[in-house]
């Protein structure tokens, strides 16, 4: 987690190129004046998320790590 705040809470950073694309598309919609698909996040927050992810080498997609339980 980073120290940045969104809605008064710490936010999870962008972790993949696919997620960066979704946030970028949402920001483009907002700049055109269209209704966005993520109503709970402001344009300023979208910009800060994308600014943080800029220049980082991100994987195309991420997968959830499987929980490692003990085998009996």
pLDDT above 70: residue 71: no
3-62 pLDDT, tens digit each:
555 666 666 788 888 888 999 999 999 999 999 898 888 999 999 888 888 777 777 777
Alpha-carbon distance of 15 to 61, in angstroms, equals 8
pLDDT for the residue numbered 55:
76
- The model's pTM is 0.67
Judge contact between 1 and 9, C-beta under 8 A: no
Q: Which residue's structure tokens are 């008064």?
A: 8
pLDDT for the residue numbered 29:
95
**Nearest CA among 15, 11, 22 for reference residue 48:** 11
């Amino acid at each position: 987690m980073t120290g940045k705040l969104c809605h008064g809470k710490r936010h999870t950073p962008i972790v993949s190129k696919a997620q960066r694309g979704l946030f970028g598309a949402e920001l483009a919609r907002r700049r055109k004046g269209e209704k966005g698909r993520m109503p709970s996040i402001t344009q300023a927050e979208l910009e800060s998320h994308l600014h943080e992810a800029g220049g980082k080498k991100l994987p195309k997609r991420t997968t959830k790590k499987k929980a490692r339980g003990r085998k009996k």
